[in-house]
């Protein structure tokens, strides 16, 4: 990273805070999807949920530099918390969403205490082990989670008491889209906030930030907990929309997939989460339907190619292409 002058770095921070044409295009595409592709609403809703999940990973990994291979821990925690809440406490969706986020944030805080003490491979392994541990816990606690069968048999009340979840998934789509917009606005705010900016400083050089008087560990822990809460929101959405929570929501594949999405889209620029999740989910839907085995091979090759030739992901290529000689 070059060291831009104070003015230009402030300007850059503010320019990222602003909304631009791309945001409008994405929102337009989301609305258009509802009217033009209503047969694919279920897939589109899944894409929206994965964008929320990828955004949460981007906060931790792209902005905080926390390397994780266990982000499914938060998705799964949010999903199980929301599912159990709907089953035993209340079927109201919005409070359920917050319950999922809170549960995931608690998991994020606790695991963050361990994970953030380390770096590199140990950190990656710790995140992976934390997620695997939760998976095994969910597997062992069969009376509560129904284990392999998946948590089912709960229903979700209408959103705000007005919009009933329908069989075509219209309400689900709007609900997921509303949550995504809120999460995105929040992320946009977060990455330009003092917390987000110091986190990026820590990502670039933790020692220097510590010398500048930034409480590095505490900032990262806060960021990690926020990221976990957003991941929990994605999980809770998935639980409420699909009316089932499976063990796979905590599994390695979930963690790996979201990592692939973000790598594909590009880390540390929010749009990467959108691009990556859209491209990945559409590819996966087509390819997995045709040939699951070779989809895995194609995914592997894709990953290797992205690492080799496009380490900034699609959004990085796009940014280079649109602003040649720009700040990036």
Partner 1 sequence: MTSTLATFLSLAVDGIAYGMMLFLISVGLTITLGVMRVVNLTHSAFAMIGGYIALWFIQRAGVHFFLAVPLAVVATMAIGALLERTLYRWVYGTHGLGQLLMTIGLTFVITAIVKNLAGTQLQSLPLPSSLQGNFSVGPLNLSVYRAFLIVASAAVALALWLGIERTAFGARLRAAVDNQRMARCVGINVPAVFSVTFAIGCGLAALGGALGSPMLPLEPYYGLKYLVIVVAVGGLGSLRGSLYAALLLGLIDTLGRYYLPALGAFVIYLAVLAILLVRPRGLVAN
Residues that bind partner 1 (CB under 8 A): 61, 67, 69, 114, 117-118, 120-122, 124-126, 128-130, 132-133, 136-137, 139-140, 252, 256, 259-260, 263, 267, 293-294, 296-297, 299-304, 306-308, 311
CB of 306 to partner 1, least distance (A): 7
By beta-carbon proximity to partner 1, the closer residue of 103 and 263 is: 263
By beta-carbon proximity to partner 1, the closer residue of 25 and 307 is: 307
DSSP state of 160: T
Token look-up 């594909």 returns 264
By beta-carbon proximity to partner 1, the closer residue of 30 and 130 is: 130
By beta-carbon proximity to partner 1, the closer residue of 102 and 256 is: 256
CB of 325 to partner 1, least distance (A): 25
By beta-carbon proximity to partner 1, the closer residue of 157 and 302 is: 302
CB of 114 to partner 1, least distance (A): 6
Q: Which residues touch 288 (CB under 8 Å, ≥6 apart)?
A: 295
Quickly list DSSP for 55-110.
HHHIIIIIIT----S-THHHHHHHHHHHHHHHHHT---HHHHHHHHHHHHHHHHHH
CB of 301 to partner 1, least distance (A): 6
- Residue/partner pairs of 150-154 with CB below 8 Å, 24 or more apart: 150/244, 150/245, 150/246, 150/247, 151/80, 151/83, 151/84, 151/87, 151/239, 151/244, 151/245, 151/246, 152/243, 152/244, 152/245, 153/87, 154/83, 154/86, 154/87, 154/91, 154/243
By beta-carbon proximity to partner 1, the closer residue of 103 and 128 is: 128
d(CA 16, CA 216): 23
Q: What are phi and psi of 200, to 5 degrees?
A: -65, -35
CA proximity to 215, closest of 228, 204, 206, 224: 206
- Residue/partner pairs of 211-218 with CB below 8 Å, 24 or more apart: 217/116
CB of 81 to partner 1, least distance (A): 19
CB of 78 to partner 1, least distance (A): 21
Token look-up 């963690």 returns 255
By beta-carbon proximity to partner 1, the closer residue of 166 and 291 is: 291
Residues 322, 273: contact at Cβ < 8 Å? no
CB of 147 to partner 1, least distance (A): 10
d(CA 121, CA 161): 47
CB of 297 to partner 1, least distance (A): 3
The C-alpha angle with vertex 66 and arms to 63 and 67, in degrees rounded to 5, equals 120
Residues 231, 74: contact at Cβ < 8 Å? yes
By beta-carbon proximity to partner 1, the closer residue of 111 and 242 is: 111
By beta-carbon proximity to partner 1, the closer residue of 148 and 168 is: 148
CB of 57 to partner 1, least distance (A): 12
């Amino acid at each position: 990273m070059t060291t831009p002058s104070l003015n230009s770095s402030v300007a850059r921070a503010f320019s990222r805070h602003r909304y631009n044409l791309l945001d409008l295009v994405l929102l337009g595409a989301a609305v258009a999807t509802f009217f033009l592709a209503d047969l694919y609403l279920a897939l589109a809703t899944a894409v929206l949920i994965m964008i929320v999940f990828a955004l949460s990973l981007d906060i931790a990994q792209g902005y905080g530099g926390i390397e994780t291979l266990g982000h499914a821990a938060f998705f799964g925690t949010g999903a199980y918390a929301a599912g159990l809440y709907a089953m035993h406490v209340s079927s109201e969706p919005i409070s359920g969403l917050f319950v999922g986020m809170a549960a995931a944030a608690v998991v994020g805080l606790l695991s963050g205490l361990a994970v953030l003490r380390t770096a590199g491979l140990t950190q990656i392994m710790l995140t992976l082990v934390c997620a695997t541990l939760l998976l095994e816990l969910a597997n062992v606690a069969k009376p509560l989670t129904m284990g392999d069968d998946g948590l089912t048999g709960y229903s979700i009340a209408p959103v705000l008491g007005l919009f009933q979840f329908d069989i075509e998934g219209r309400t689900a789509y709007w609900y997921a889209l509303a949550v995504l917009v809120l999460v995105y606005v929040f992320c946009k705010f977060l990455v330009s906030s003092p917390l987000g900016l110091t986190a990026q400083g820590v990502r670039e050089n933790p020692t220097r930030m510590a010398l500048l008087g930034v409480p590095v560990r505490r900032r990262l822990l806060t960021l990690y907990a926020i990221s976990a809460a957003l991941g929990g929101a994605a999980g809770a959405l998935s639980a409420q929309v699909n009316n089932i929570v499976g063990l796979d929501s905590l599994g390695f594949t979930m963690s790996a997939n979201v990592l692939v999405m973000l790598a594909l889209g590009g880390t540390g620029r929010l749009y990467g989460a959108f691009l990556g999740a859209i491209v990945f989910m559409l590819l996966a839907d087509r390819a997995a339907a045709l040939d699951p085995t070779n989809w895995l091979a194609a995914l592997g090759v894709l990953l290797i190619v992205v690492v080799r030739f496009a380490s900034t992901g699609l959004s990085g290529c796009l940014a280079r292409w649109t602003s040649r000689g720009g700040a990036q």
